[in-house]
Chains A and B, each alone.
Chain A
Amino acid sequence: MLDKEGIAKRIAQEIQNNSYVNLGIGIPTLVANYIPKDIHVCFQSENGLLGMGPFPKESEVDPDLINAGKQTITMLPGAALFDSAMSFGMIHAQKIDLTILGAMEVSEMGDIANWKIPGKMVKGMGGAMDLVASAKNIIVAMQHVNKAGESKLLPTCSLPLTGIQCVKKIVTELAVLSVLPEGGFKLLERAPGVSVETIKKATLGKLIIEGEIPEMAFD
């Protein structure tokens, strides 16, 4: 079973060379720490920055320079600044190659819910509805089951949706799965030490298992 860092590490393997990537809040933010040295990637922060660098040293902290999670950050050489309209312009014009975000639920059709629990939590969708509506490729980073032990990979989402038929791949503490265009979660890899049976039990939506399922490989 993977911890949060492990999920981030596995997702980092999905990042193609020379790509523009938007990372959501939470586990997705950790992905930046595991990019292989030979992979060139440019991170977008939807509050208006391309070329986001690591968190600053104490002496570099600038209140005017934050990421979309409101954390202080730095800019890398070649960075560019812009306003929110241009930021979402480049998102909707599909200039961003990959979006990685968290979710509360994903359906076997690739629908995603991650912004609201009626009566309990209303924080808002932020940029998530824009990102999922237009991203060329969406990977979800999340726990396979919620705190109550219920599966988050469902036939249909029960929570208010963020977007429909958009999630392409899911990485959890148990598995890597792709969402098939015709519907269904196709099991691609198991986390180290996790059995196919465990994944079956934790997946309420349609799970497709073909042949031997390899264990995730880490360097």
Chain B
Amino acid sequence: MINKKVANAEQAIEDVMDGDTLLLGGFGLCGIPENCIAALVKKGVTNLTCVSNNAGVDDFGIGLMLHQKQVKKMISSYVGENAEFERQLLSGELDVELIPQGTLAFRCMAAGYGMPAIYTPAGIGTEVAIGKEVRNFKGKDYLLEEAFDAKFAMVKAWKGDTAGNLIFKATSRNFNTVMAMAGKITIAEVEELVEPGELDPNQIHVPGIYVHRIFQGDHYEKRIEKKTISV
């Protein structure tokens, strides 16, 4: 088996440069690559373009990178819950491209499947459609949306092996699978890293061919954004 293991987050992200484009997995704070984000903050790379469904909260997730002004552009579908983000957006410090959530997923998926673009009806008749090619299939209009072209993808899985195979838990799978498939260099951080043969091949969500570097995160806060209890 090809060994993808690296020692830690610092080593995994050591060649991320100013101006790079990163795909960052997670939905809200669920399934975000906590250790990679912490290492990016420590490294201090700037002018990044970050593609992520959300932008974290003020003091966690991508919010930490926003505070350090490391992000030049965010491509997301929903960015509530983050006051610093909103401030940078309204003041023009941060360039933000909001795109439909399905479009975000499909543009990753396309990259992972080697397809240059996809057609989606999401955004037809709205400002999202401005400047994009529209094509009609069987009486319905669709927008042409291009696959992401990102140097790095950073994802977080529940379990992984040193061959790069990944298994996710519950709804932390979200964008992590398609982003793992879309990166030119994909970095996976996992809660539990095992040797090849210890994971059931029937249960693998992302085969190791898509993963270039893997490490076990040394701490997971797994912060809950909205803890809601039934009474």
Chain A residues near B (Cβ < 8 Å): 45-49, 54-58, 61-73, 75, 81-85, 87-88, 91-92, 111, 115-116, 122-130, 133-134, 160-165
B173 at the interface (CB under 8 A from A): yes
| Contact assessment for B105 and A133 in the assembled complex, using a CB-CB cutoff below 8 Å | no
* Contact status of A84 and B78, CB under 8 A, knowing A55-B228, A71-B228: no
B162 at the interface (CB under 8 A from A): no
| Chain A-chain B contacts (Cβ-Cβ < 8 Å), number | 174
| Contact assessment for A55 and B101 in the assembled complex, using a CB-CB cutoff below 8 Å | no
Listed from nearest, the 6 A-B pairs whose CB atoms lie closest are A88-B102, A130-B102, A164-B125, A133-B121, A129-B100, A123-B80
B21 at the interface (CB under 8 A from A): no
Instruction: Report the Cα distance A83→B182, complex, angstroms.
Output: 14
Instruction: Report the Cα distance A164→B231, complex, angstroms.
Output: 39
Cβ-closest chain A residue relative to B110:
A85
B219 at the interface (CB under 8 A from A): no
Separation in Å of the A60 CB from the closest CB of chain B?
9
Separation in Å of the A95 CB from the closest CB of chain B?
13
Residues of A within 8 A of B76 (CB): 124
Chain B residues near A (Cβ < 8 Å): 27-31, 53, 76-81, 86, 89-90, 96, 98-106, 108-109, 120-128, 158, 169-178, 205, 222-230
Instruction: Report the Cα distance A2→B106, complex, angstroms.
Output: 40
The CB with the most chain B CB atoms within 10 A, among A71, A83, A116, A165, is that of A83
* Contact status of A64 and B53, CB under 8 A, knowing A84-B175, A133-B123: no
Cβ-closest chain B residue relative to A132:
B122
Instruction: Report the Cα distance A54→B230, complex, angstroms.
Output: 7
| Contact assessment for B106 and A88 in the assembled complex, using a CB-CB cutoff below 8 Å | yes
Residues of A within 8 A of B27 (CB): 47-48, 66, 68, 70, 84
Instruction: Report the Cα distance A46→B230, complex, angstroms.
Output: 21
Residues of A within 8 A of B226 (CB): 66, 69-72
* Contact status of A83 and B169, CB under 8 A, knowing A63-B224, A133-B121, A164-B125: no
| Contact assessment for A122 and B170 in the assembled complex, using a CB-CB cutoff below 8 Å | no
| Contact assessment for A61 and B224 in the assembled complex, using a CB-CB cutoff below 8 Å | yes
| Contact assessment for A84 and B126 in the assembled complex, using a CB-CB cutoff below 8 Å | no
| Contact assessment for A64 and B170 in the assembled complex, using a CB-CB cutoff below 8 Å | yes
| Contact assessment for A84 and B79 in the assembled complex, using a CB-CB cutoff below 8 Å | no
| Contact assessment for B123 and A129 in the assembled complex, using a CB-CB cutoff below 8 Å | yes
Residues of B within 8 A of A81 (CB): 170-171, 173
Q: Contact check: which of B86, B101, B121, B205 meets A127 at CB < 8 Å?
A: B101
Cβ-closest chain B residue relative to A123:
B80
